[in-house]
């Protein structure tokens, strides 16, 4: 069974990890290499990841310098420049290891010294010597005691980034904050590294509100998909802006800024270590909350969705193309929660058919390249009684059929081997489906609008929020709901779910399972 590792790492047949990164096309003629590749001299995965983070953090600065040298005919790139850079990185890694060792030895020596001489007496002697000017380097000591540090004493942006990214990988597994998944780590690294691409590898002490504002203004002029579209590759920031393409969304800009802001906030927890006392990115890039733009579907929009030719013909290319809409409509569940449902999650509690939304996989073994079941937070683990409408159209009969076939998952067509999880393909399907029926409002009518419709509909029927909260995975705001409401009581939840109503002319558009035909796609059929 293979072990999943980051894309910029690979392991040879002897088990040694190597660092590998593709060189941009516009620099290959200067570097004479298609990719950077050299040994990290370790067989330990965590050690290789930690070393690679430092290399990845230094790479944008190196590429930035190479492009600047390539544009400057007076100072061309020499054949040995890239090789010297790699050798310097090797030396830096060795020096950092030596520094860690020396720091450990120094700490041990200081501990022994503190035991041999009373601490209060030692401090008094040092203070008297300092007051009399008898200590060597008095001025240097005064400068070191000054806070915040002078900008030239602080570390480069890339070094802070490397330390921050490393801190995310060593979070305690059982703690409140879990280590991010590989995809999230990659997104964080790219968002933070982009600052170096635009502004250079500045020292963190010289990054002030003005520089943060300049970066924010530049982001608002740059187009989206800079790394995906070939027409943007190899171009400088000024060239990209001059192209005049539509700028990236406020949401993407906000993510880039907020991730850097989070990094500086982390550094301020140990501000004496980093020599800074402020977060220059606070307040920038706070785009309008996308959640506020979303709205519930209207009854007319539900009619449009359910009168699409697929629903009229009763023929669907896969099971989720039918079931996701009624499931979301009558449970208020999120797309990811529905897509990862297993057969075992359909249970009977106190004689009431329910869906148990949880993060426990149906099988004990999950492929390394795949993704285990997840829930948004602890409140998302919940019991949702089935609405009578779902039972009427045959959901339980369909589940029994899958169980008889030996299936483990409600939607076998959705792959669990993808890093993005089974919801990725379903999300793409719904985006295309709503556009085909004419619902094209961006960030307004999305799959989450079913959840909005469910919650709004029940609240409009005068159901107390603390009774609805455990059904949709929200935290009860009142102490009464948190303490006294039994979140596992199916008999009390069922009436709340049944309060949800849709117009009769909408309900009749949902066919029974016996009237449906599922045509398995060629790709799924061959895989089976």
State how far the Cα of 420 lies from the Cα of 417, in Å rounded to an integer.
9
Q: What long-range pairs does 179-184 form, CB within 8 A, spacing at least 24?
A: 181/371, 181/419, 182/4, 182/6, 182/419, 183/419, 183/420
**How long is the chain?**
528
Query: What are the beta bridge partners of residue 315?
Result: 517
State how far the Cα of 438 lies from the Cα of 458, in Å rounded to an integer.
27
> 10 Å Cβ neighbour count for 199?
17
* Residue from 34, 2, 32, 29 nearest 15 by CA: 2
What are the start and end residues of each CATH 1.10.443 domain in the chain?
Answer: 299-527
CATH architecture of 299-527: Orthogonal Bundle (1.10)
Give Cα separations from 25 to 10, 33, 34, 80, 158 (angstroms).
Answer: 22, 10, 8, 19, 23
Task: Please list the pLDDT of the chain residue by residue as tens digits (528 residues).
Answer: 344 455 678 788 888 888 877 777 777 777 777 777 777 777 877 777 777 777 777 777 777 777 777 776 666 666 566 667 777 777 776 776 677 677 778 888 777 766 665 666 767 776 777 666 665 665 665 666 677 888 898 999 999 999 999 998 886 555 556 777 777 888 899 999 999 999 999 999 999 999 999 999 999 999 988 888 888 888 889 999 999 898 988 888 998 999 999 999 999 998 888 999 999 998 886 554 444 467 889 999 999 999 988 788 888 888 999 999 999 999 999 999 999 999 999 999 989 999 999 888 876 544 444 567 888 888 888 899 999 999 999 999 999 999 999 999 999 998 887 767 788 888 889 988 988 888 877 667 889 999 999 999 999 988 888 888 888 888 765 444 443 345 467 888 999 999 999 999 999 899 898 988 887 644 444 444
């Amino acid at each position: 069974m293979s072990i999943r590792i980051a894309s910029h790492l690979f392991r040879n047949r002897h088990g040694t990890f190597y660092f590998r990164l593709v060189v941009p096309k516009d620099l290959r003629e200067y570097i004479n290499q298609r990719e950077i590749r050299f040994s990290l001299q370790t067989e330990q995965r965590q050690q290789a990841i930690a070393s690679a983070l430092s290399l990845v953090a230094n790479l944008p600065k190196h590429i930035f310098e190479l492009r600047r040298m390539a544009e400057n005919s007076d100072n061309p790139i020499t054949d040995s420049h890239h090789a010297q850079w790699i050798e310097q990185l090797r030396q830096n890694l060795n020096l950092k290891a030596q520094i860690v060792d020396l720091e450990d030895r120094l700490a041990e020596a200081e501990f022994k010294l503190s035991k041999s001489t009373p601490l209060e007496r030692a401090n008094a002697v040092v203070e008297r010597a300092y007051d009399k000017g008898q200590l060597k380097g008095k001025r240097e000591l005064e400068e070191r005691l000054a806070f915040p540090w002078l900008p030239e004493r602080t570390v480069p942006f890339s070094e802070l980034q490397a330390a921050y990214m490393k801190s995310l990988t060593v979070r305690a597994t059982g703690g409140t904050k879990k280590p991010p998944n590989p995809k999230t780590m990659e997104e964080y690294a790219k968002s933070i590294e982009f600052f170096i691409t635009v502004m250079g590898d500045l020292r963190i002490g010289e990054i002030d509100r003005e520089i943060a504002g300049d970066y924010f203004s530049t982001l608002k002029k740059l187009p989206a998909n800079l790394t995906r579209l070939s027409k943007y590759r190899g171009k400088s920031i000024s060239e990209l802006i001059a192209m005049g393409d539509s700028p990236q969304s406020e949401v993407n800009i906000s993510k880039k800024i907020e991730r850097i802001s989070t990094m500086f906030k982390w550094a301020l927890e140990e501000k004496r270590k980093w020599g800074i006392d402020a977060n220059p990115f606070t307040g920038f890039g706070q785009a309008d909350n996308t959640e506020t733009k979303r709205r519930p579907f209207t009854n007319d929009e539900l009619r449009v969705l359910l009168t699409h030719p697929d629903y009229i013909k009763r023929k669907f290319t896969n099971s989720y193309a039918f079931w996701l809409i009624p499931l979301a409509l009558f449970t208020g569940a999120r797309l990811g929660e529905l897509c990862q449902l297993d057969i075992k999650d359909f249970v009977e509690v106190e004689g009431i058919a329910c869906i148990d939304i949880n993060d426990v996989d149906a099988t004990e073994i999950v492929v390394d390249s795949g993704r285990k079941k997840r829930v948004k937070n602890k409140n998302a683990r919940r019991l949702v009684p089935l609405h009578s409408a779902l039972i009427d159209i045959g959901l339980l009969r369909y589940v029994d059929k899958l169980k008889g076939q030996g299936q483990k998952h409600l939607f076998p067509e959705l792959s669990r081997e993808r890093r993005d999880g089974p919801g990725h393909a379903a999300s793409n399907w719904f985006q295309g489906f709503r556009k085909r029926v004419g619902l094209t409002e961006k960030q307004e009518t999305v799959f989450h609008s079913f959840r909005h419709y469910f919650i709004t509909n029940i609240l409009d029927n005068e159901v107390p929020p603390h009774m609805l909260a455990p059904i949709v995975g929200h935290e009860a705001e009142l102490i009464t709901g948190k303490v006294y409401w039994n979140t596992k009581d199916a008999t009390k939840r069922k009436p709340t779910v049944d309060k949800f109503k849709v117009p009769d002319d909408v309900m009749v558009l949902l066919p029974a399972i016996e009237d449906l035909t599922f045509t398995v796609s060629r790709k799924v059929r061959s895989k089976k």
